Amino acid sequence: MTKRAIISGGSIGGLFAAAALMRAGWQVDVFERTDVELAGRGAGIVTHKALIEALQAVGASTEDLGVSVQERVAFDKAGQPVARIDYPQIVTSWDRIHQLLRVLIPDDRHHLGAHVAGYADHGDRVEAVLTDGRRVEADVLIGADGFRSSVRGQMLPDVQPEYSGYVVWRALAHEADLPAEVRDAVFPHFGFYAPTGTQIIGYPIAGPNNDLRPGHRRYNFVWYAPVKAADLADMLTDASGHLHHISIPPPLVRDAVITAVEAQAREMLPGPFVQILAQSERPFFTPIYDHASPVMAQGRVALSGDAACVARPHVGMGVTKAACDALALARHLADGPVEEGLLAYSAERVPASKSAHDRARTLGRFIFDDSVPNPDGRSNPRLDEIMRTTAINVA
C-alpha cells in the first residue's frame, strides 16, 4: 500500500521533502499556513555543489540557476579592495529555488491556508491537527515549518531559538540603477566589508522573473549590525504600537526605523555600499536567532530544515541543509518501518546540522572580535579565514 506523508510548511524545506518523498513512492500532502503562494519573497541564496545535486536528485531543473561569481573581494571603509580570492560560485535567489521546487508538487497535494497546530502520534499512524479543526492521518508527519515550528514546539518544547545580539539588514538594488563605478568594482563579485563590530556581504543575483541578462540583475545587500535586546523591541514595534515577537513582517517596520538605519549606514559603511543601499528597494531586517535540536525525530514525526536547526546565515547553509535533510529522509524512509527510518535519519542529520550551526556561530563571533584594532576593515586578522569560510558547505 502507498505510504502517506504530511508535511507541515511549504517553503523550500517542505517542498524539497515533498519532492524527495514523492520520488521514493510516497503520497505526500503539503500544508502551508500562508494562504497565498510564497512566490515573490526573499532575497539571495548561495548555492553549493550539494544543493545542485539535490535539485537534480528530486528532478528539478538546474538550468539558469543563478549568477556565476568568480571572485571574493573585501573592501575597506574607503571602498578600496583590500583582499581578493578566487572562489567560483553560483548565487541565486530564494524565489528561483522555490519556483523550481514548487512546479514538482501537484496543486491538489499542496494546500495553502492550512495551519498545522500540532499532532497526535498513535503509534501505528500519526494525525496532524489543523487550526481549523481538521485532523489528517498519515504514516509520517514532517515538521518543515521553520524556526518557530509548531511541530518542534510539541516534540521538543525546551528547544527555543536564542537571540544572537545582532540583526541582518537585507536589500536588493537593481543593477541598472547603480553608479557605473559601483557596477564595475563591486557588483560582479562576492563582496565583503569586515571591520570590528559589523559586517557586509553582497553579491549579484537575477533580476525579477529570474532575468540573468547583464544590466537586468540585482545586487543582494546583506548587513550584519549589532542591536541590543532592549533596542530590538523598539524595532519590532509597528506603527500601531504592537510589539511583534521574534520578527516583524517587513511592510510593518516603521519608517523611523528605516530612516535611522539609513543614517547609520551613511556613517558606518563604505561609499559603494551606501550607494547600493540608497538605490535599493525598502530594506528589511531579521533578528539573528539560532537553535539546534538534539534529535530530529520522535515516533512517526520528524523535523527538517529550519524547524530542526537554524545555522546563522554566515554559512549560507539554510537551503542546502534543508535539501540534504529531504534527501536523507527519503532514503531512510524508502523501505522498512517508519520509526526505524526516522531514527536513522535523525542520527545522520543531527551531527551535520550541528556542525553548520557551530561553524556559523564561530563566524558570527569573528564579527565582534576586537583583539586587534580594525575600525576600517583593513586590519581584520581573520579576513582570509572569513573570506574562505563564509557561505561554504560545512555539513
Ligand X SMILES: Cc1cc2nc3c(=O)[nH]c(=O)nc-3n(C[C@H](O)[C@H](O)[C@H](O)COP(=O)(O)OP(=O)(O)OC[C@H]3O[C@@H](n4cnc5c(N)ncnc54)[C@H](O)[C@@H]3O)c2cc1C
First to last CA, the chain: 35
* Binder among 24, 42, 76, 265 for ligand X (CB under 6 A): 42
Tell me which residue of 336, 312, 270 sits closest to 76, measured CA to CA: 270
345 touches ligand X by CB under 6 A:
no
- Asked whether position 110 contacts ligand X by CB under 6 A, the answer is no
Nearest to 75 by CA among 341, 332, 270: 270
The CA-atom distances, in angstroms, between 46 and each of 324, 367, 393 are 15, 20, 10
Closest CB to ligand X among 236 and 307?
A: 307
Amino acid identity, position 90: I
Quick one: 54 or 343, whose CB is closer to ligand X? 54
Q: Is 45 in the site for ligand X (CB under 6 A)?
A: yes
Residue nearer to ligand X on the CB measure, 10 or 207 = 10
The yes or no reply on residue 115 touching ligand X (CB under 6 A) is: yes
Smallest distance, ligand X to C-beta of residue 45, A: 5
As a whole number of angstroms, the distance between CA 337 and CA 383 comes to 49
27 binds ligand X (CB under 6 A): no
Q: Please give the distance of CA 316 from its chain centroid, rounded to a whole number.
A: 7
Interface with ligand X: number of residues (CB under 6 A): 31
Supply the minimum distance, in Å, between the C-beta of residue 289 and ligand X: 12
Buried-exposed string 264-274: b where 16+ CB fall within 10 A, e elsewhere: ebeebbbbbbb
87 in Cβ contact with 190 (< 8 Å): yes
Q: Least distance in Å: CB of 259 to ligand X? A: 23
3-state SS class at 36: coil
- Binding flag, residue 168, ligand X (CB under 6 A): no
C-alpha 180/C-alpha 364 separation (Å) is 32
Q: Where are the beta strands (DSSP E) in 9-130?
A: 27-32, 44-46, 67-75, 81-93, 110-112, 116-121, 126-130
Output the smallest distance, CB 319 to ligand X, in A. 4
Residue 318 CA to its chain's centroid (Å): 4
Work out the burial of residue 90: count CB atoms within 10 Å of its CB; fewer than 13 is exposed, 13-18 middle, 19 or more buried.
Answer: middle
User: Do 284 and 170 touch, CB atoms closer than 8 A?
Assistant: yes
Binding-residue pattern over the window 265 to 304 for ligand X, x denoting contact by CB under 6 A: ----------------------------------------
Q: Binding pattern to ligand X, positions 127-146, x when CB under 6 A?
A: -----------------xxx
Among 6, 13, 253, 291, binds ligand X (CB under 6 A): 13
Per CB under 6 A, does 318 bind ligand X?
Answer: yes
Residue with the shortest CB distance to ligand X = 305
**CB of 184 or CB of 211, closer to ligand X:** 211
Q: Kindly calculate the radius of gyration of the chain based on its CA atoms and give it in whole angstroms.
A: 21
Rounded Cα distance between 359 and 347, Å, is 19
Smallest separation, CB 260 to ligand X (Å):
23
- Residue 33 in contact with ligand X, rule: CB under 6 A: yes
Helix, strand, coil % in the chain, rounded to nearest 5:
35, 30, 35
Among positions 5, 6, 9, 380, the unique one binding ligand X when judged by CB under 6 A: 9
> What residue has cell string 538550468?
63
306 binds ligand X (CB under 6 A): yes
Query: Would you say 83 or 324 has its CB closer to ligand X?
Result: 324
Shortest separation between residue 359's beta carbon and ligand X, angstroms:
15
Q: To the nearest whole angstrom, how small is the minimum distance from the Cβ of residue 253 to ligand X?
A: 15
| From 51-59, 190-198, 290-298, 318-326, span contacting ligand X (CB under 6 A) | 318-326
Q: Does 344 bind ligand X (CB under 6 A)?
A: no
Give the one residue of 4, 27, 34, 197 binding ligand X; rule: CB under 6 A.
Answer: 34
Helix (H) or strand (E) holding 259: helix 255-268
Is 89 among the residues that bind ligand X (CB under 6 A)? Answer: no
User: What's the length of the chain?
Assistant: 395
Task: Kindly list the residues in this chain that would bind ligand X in the complex (CB under 6 A).
Answer: 8-14, 31-34, 38, 41-45, 94, 115-116, 144-146, 150, 305-307, 313, 318-319, 322
